[in-house]
Structure 1
C-alpha cells in the first residue's frame, strides 16, 4: 500500500502541469478571474494578444492603456505554468514604466477581486513567484 502511494507521488512529480482553461482566451479570463467589464476596444486588444504575435494600440492620453496592459501581463503570468512565462514592461521613459505601467501591474498582481495570482509585484518593478523565480520586470 505504501509503495503504491510512493509511486503515485513520484508519477505526479513528472506529470505536465494542467493547462489553464483560459489559455488563448484573455477576455474570458478578465471577465471571470478579474470580474472586469471590458468595453469593445479593450476586448479587441486582449483577444489580439492571444491571436497575434504582435499587437499595437493607437490611443490617446488617459484612455486606459496601462490598465489593459497590466491585465494582459497578469493574464499571461496566470495562465502559464510557473516559470514558463516572462513579462517585460517597456515605455519611452523610466518614469512612465515605474510610476504608471508597473504601478498598474502591481495592482493587477494583488488581484483583490478574485482568486490570488502567482507571486507578487514588487516596488523594484519585478514580479516574482514565491520561490523567487522572476516572471516579470522592466527593460
Structure 2
C-alpha cells in the first residue's frame, strides 16, 4: 500500500529567505501558493517539501514535528560536511557526534549514515543513506570508523 513519503511540511518565518536557503541546497521550487506556502521538489514528480510562512515558526523543536531527512547516496554523504560548508550551511552536532563527518547508527541488521544541520528557522534537516551491514555491527560511530570495520 504505502510506497514512500510524498510530502513533508515545515514552518518558516520569512518565506523569501527560506526559498533562497532551500534553493541553495539544490532543491527545485515547484510553486508558491498564496504568498505564504512554497513547495520544493525533493525528487521531481515524486516527493516534495512544503514551507509555510507562519508566526508559529518559533515553536520549540522536537524531532517529531520539525525534522526532515533527505536521502542521499553514500558517496555524496562522505563529502556532505564540506559540501554544506561550501554553500554557507553549518553541519551540527547530533547524538554526541561532532559534524566534521557523517556518522553511523546501526542496530540489528540495519545501518544508516547521516549528518545533521538546521535551516534558518531552526528546523532540523538531515542527509541520510541506508548502508549495508555485512558484519551485523551495532552501535554508533563515525562513518570512517564504520568503513574500517567493514573492510
Relative to the length of structure 1, the TM-score reads 0.33
> Greater share of helix residues, 1 or 2?
1
Structure label with greater radius of gyration: 1
Structure with greater strand percent:
2
User: What is the TM-score of this pair, normalised by structure 2?
Assistant: 0.31
